[in-house]
Structure 1
């Protein structure tokens, strides 16, 4: 449930490997950020609160709508905060030059009142529609998959106990040699597995 990279790297002592204690400490910070209302669980209310916070930060002129330029500026700011996101975006841009055109089309479709900007409701509807397409494409979505795996009792909320249990399970999966630390090699092996799985799913979708 916790992917930590770049500025959020849990390897606090810089020795190249991550212990369970380091991973738990980084994950505790992540839980606190995700639990926007501080009630001790992560649920739909927190997602809505985080969405409102992100919207307010991106709405540079405070008019209650996000223009395409404001959304692009917000994306650039996130890239600067998380360099690895910028690297992934560059790789995607190289693979598909029509990404900008697709984003423009999505923006136009979401702007149902043709105001030239997206309200919070329009933006939420756009994200929901994209999520539904991901489900139909048999992807489930990374965030959805993580949420489902951590939500042990299926109540659509993740308690701190469930979150901690998911972190321990993830650590055990990544620590393939069971020595109590996740090495750089183990992290790279896991990334390679995930890339292979994504490529296989893409191949399945193309074959349908």
Structure 2
């Protein structure tokens, strides 16, 4: 093998790695709304992501997110879990199938793991009703009861979008209409510190 051949091989490997990293960055960006994968989320991208996520969460397509949607999402999760466990598709789950699914190489069934769009935070959590998913940040554009502006127990698309943009503006520290990865990280750290403080205060009684 000549030096030239080795050099070509190394160059090809480097390009492959670079391409893989770029694809990973684009995938990660798409998950939190960064459609072009440039590492920056614009306000327009945030609005588009909010509309897309709302459409997925609105299970019965009635233009609002409420108890009915949460119930439908729970039923869908149960169905997906059953189908995953029922390896031979005979409509029954045997002990062997259940045990195999919970093997050491797998995480096992989690009733509340996946939302309709893969969102881990769908449904009712400790902090109330969460309307968003993980998305790009760990909490994604997570929506809670605060999204329900009029307190009627349902979140409309307008309320969902407003809550998303409010969250966007909070994270956009320098108010340039863009959220960078550094700003997202800073927001995560602030939220983590806030939760730790709340837990400490609660522990103190």
Shorter-chain TM band? 0.5 to 0.7
TM-score normalised by length of structure 1: 0.61
RMSD: 3.3
Aligned residue for 1:48? 71
Give the distance between the partners of 2:143 and 2:152, measured in 1 at CA: 14
1:109-148: CA deviations, max 9, x gaps? xxxxxxxxxxxxxxxxxx97xx5xx4xxxxx347289332
* Contact map agreement 1:174 1:187 (CA 8 A) in 2: yes
Aligned residue for 1:166? 163
Identify if the C-alpha distance between structure 1 residues 31 and 51 changes in structure 2 by more than 3 Å, giving closer, same or farther: same
Give the distance between the partners of 1:9 and 1:190, measured in 2 at CA: 14
SS at match of 2:52: helix
Identify if the C-alpha distance between structure 1 residues 207 and 63 changes in structure 2 by more than 3 Å, giving closer, same or farther: farther
Larger mean Cα displacement after TM superposition, 41-50 or 18-27: 18-27
SS at match of 2:109: helix
Q: How far is the alpha carbon of 1:44 from its aligned partner?
A: 0.4
Aligned residue for 1:21? 44
Give the distance between the partners of 2:173 and 2:98, measured in 1 at CA: 44
Q: Which 4+ runs in 1 deviate beyond 4 A?
A: 67-72
Give the distance between the partners of 2:92 and 2:148, measured in 1 at CA: 37
Structure 2: gaps of 5 or more residues: 1-26, 132-141
Aligned residue for 2:3? none
> Which runs of structure 2 are paired with 1:41-190 in the superposition (5 Å)?
41-59=64-82, 60-61=85-86, 62-63=91-92, 72-75=107-110, 134=126, 140-141=127-128, 143=130, 146-190=143-187
* Contact map agreement 1:24 1:164 (CA 8 A) in 2: yes
SS at match of 1:182: strand
Give the distance between the partners of 2:70 and 2:129, measured in 1 at CA: 15
* Contact map agreement 1:10 1:23 (CA 8 A) in 2: yes
Aligned length: 149
* Contact map agreement 2:129 2:145 (CA 8 A) in 1: no
Residue 207 (structure 1) aligned with residue 204 (structure 2): yes
1:53-104: CA deviations, max 9, x gaps? 000110133459xx975685334x85xx97xx7xxxxxxxxxxxxxxxxxxx
Aligned residue for 2:19? none
* Contact map agreement 1:8 1:26 (CA 8 A) in 2: no
